[in-house]
Amino acid sequence: MDIALDFFAAFARQLQSPTLAFLLGGMAVAALGSRLEIPDAVYRFIVVVLMLRIGLGAGISVREADLSELVLPALAASVLGVVIVLIGRVTLAPLPGLRPEDGIATAGLFGAVSASTLAAAMVLMEEDGMAFEPWVPALYPFMDIPALITAIVLAQLARSRGGPRPPIGAIVADSLRGSALSALGLGLALGIVARPDAVYADFYDPLFRGFLSVLMLVMGMEAYARLAELRRVAHVYAVYGVTAPLVHGALGFALGYAAHLVTGFSPGGVVLLAVMAASSSDISGPPTLRAAIPSANPAAYVGASTSIGTPVALLSIPLWIALADVVFTP
């Protein structure tokens, strides 16, 4: 009973979060027949600023990390991002009644990482006295970017089914040249090799939440226009949103434990890797997938991720901490 109450409390909090609240607000104004419109040029500018901010923040964190300790956990994070999307491709996307692009985009969000869920886990672990390497939060782009690229590639392959299929290398290269991933990669590189801390703190970071809210408003209006596509299969996304974080988190814990055996990766680092795997992107993923897979329905992938996947991922954090206590206690 307490678990159910905790879940619905977390669900209610997500409804009040800016990410989901502005998405629902966009759906509401569209339902009322509003003529509100965000020019496409403004939308594209917002996406670039958001992706640069995310990349810069991640690059600054990576720059300050011990790269020799980072290599194996970063590889594990990259593998996780790709594997999670592939699991969604073979379990969710082929189900009857689902459009492949919607299922693949949903798997892409679940393969990417929620910064807010990661931050919540760090707070809980600090309260519990569980230490972790300072660079562990910088692992999220290593999971985020491969997951999003994999989803984009799979979506393009699905669209080309029955016709001439372009080479995988060409699809990956084309995906990396897309505006969202290009900005994310550029920000990551600049954060590592340059010293953008001042412009990051004075310009990109203060604008971030406001720009994200406008972006979600646009996606909400689009989602309402395509809501009819989702009604008959909404239960499938609900089941996926509940089960996927637990399965993905277990995979993350297993790979983290393997890194622990090889390199001494800390128990706290293993927990955070499991949390990242269990989480689903609420920041970098939606604009990237909206730009790269425009045929996918935001009501499907954002709804499954933010309204269901995120509460489940948050509630699973104590599970990974408890599992670490059992596994790592002599």
- Residue 306 CB-density burial (10 A; 0-12 exposed, 13-18 middle, 19+ buried): buried
Q: Which helix H or strand E contains 6, and what residues bound it?
A: helix 2-16
Per residue in 126-158, pLDDT (tens digit) is 877 888 887 888 888 889 889 999 999 999 888
- Token pair 């412009």 is found at 199
What pLDDT does 247 receive? 97
What does the alpha-carbon distance between residue 193 and residue 253 come to, in Å, rounded to a whole number? 31
Spatial distance between the Cα atoms of 300 and 231, rounded to a whole number of angstroms: 10
pLDDT confidence bin for 19, thresholds 50/70/90: low
Provide the pLDDT for residue 166.
Answer: 64
Tokens of 138: 């910088």
Question: DSSP 3-state assignment of 186?
Answer: helix
- Using pLDDT thresholds of 50, 70 and 90, give the confidence band for residue 110: very high
Q: Is the pLDDT of residue 48 over 90?
A: no
The mean pLDDT of 184-194, rounded to a whole number, is: 88
Contact at 8 Å (CB) between 291 and 179?
A: yes
Please determine, for residue 11, whether its predicted confidence score (pLDDT) is greater than 60. Answer: no
CA angle at residue 161 from 159 to 165, to 5 degrees?
Answer: 95
The Cβ of residue 147 has, within 10 Å, a number of other Cβ atoms equal to 32
Q: How far is CA 85 from CA 42, 67, 217, 323, in A?
A: 30, 27, 26, 25
CA 148/CA 183 separation, integer angstroms: 14
| Angle made by CA atoms 306, 312, 315, in degrees to the nearest 5 | 125
Contact 142, 81 (CB under 8 A): yes
Q: What is the mean pLDDT of the chain?
A: 84
pLDDT computed for residue 106 by the predictor: 95
pLDDT of residue 39: 87
Distance between alpha carbon 290 and the CA centroid of its chain, in Å? 13
Q: What is the mean pLDDT of residues 306-317?
A: 82
Contact 140, 287 (CB under 8 A): no
pLDDT tens digits, one per residue of 197-246: 999 999 988 888 788 788 778 877 877 776 666 677 788 998 999 899 99
Domain spans, the chain: 38-328
The predicted structure's pLDDT at residue 199 = 92
> Which CATH code fits 38-328?
1.20.1530.20
Q: Tell me, what DSSP letter sits at residue 309?
A: I
Question: What percent of the chain lies above the pLDDT cut of 70?
Answer: 88
Instruction: Estimate the share of the chain in helix, then strand, then coil, as percent rounded to the nearest 5.
Output: 80, 0, 20
Of 30-44, 235-249, 286-300, which one has max mean pLDDT? 235-249
* Mean pLDDT within 176-188: 79
Report in angstroms the alpha-carbon separations of 265 from 71, 75, 127, 224.
11, 13, 20, 45
Q: What is the pLDDT of residue 250?
A: 97
pLDDT in tens, 63-105: 877 777 888 999 999 999 999 999 999 999 999 889 999 999 9
Determine the pLDDT at residue 201.
Answer: 92
Write the DSSP string, 222-275: HHHHTTHHHHTTHHHHHHHHHHHHHHHHHHHHHHHHHHHHHH---HHHHHHHHH
Distance CA 298, CA 220 (A): 8
- Whether the model clears a pTM of 0.75, i.e. scores above it, the answer is yes
Give pLDDT, residue 220.
79
Section 18-25 average pLDDT: 73
The reported pLDDT for the residue numbered 249 is 97
**pLDDT, tens digit, for every residue of 156-173?**
888 776 566 667 677 677
Is 276 or 303 the better-scoring residue by pLDDT?
Answer: 276
Tokens of 318: 């104590």
pLDDT in the model for residue 109:
94
Tokens describing residue 160:
């080309």
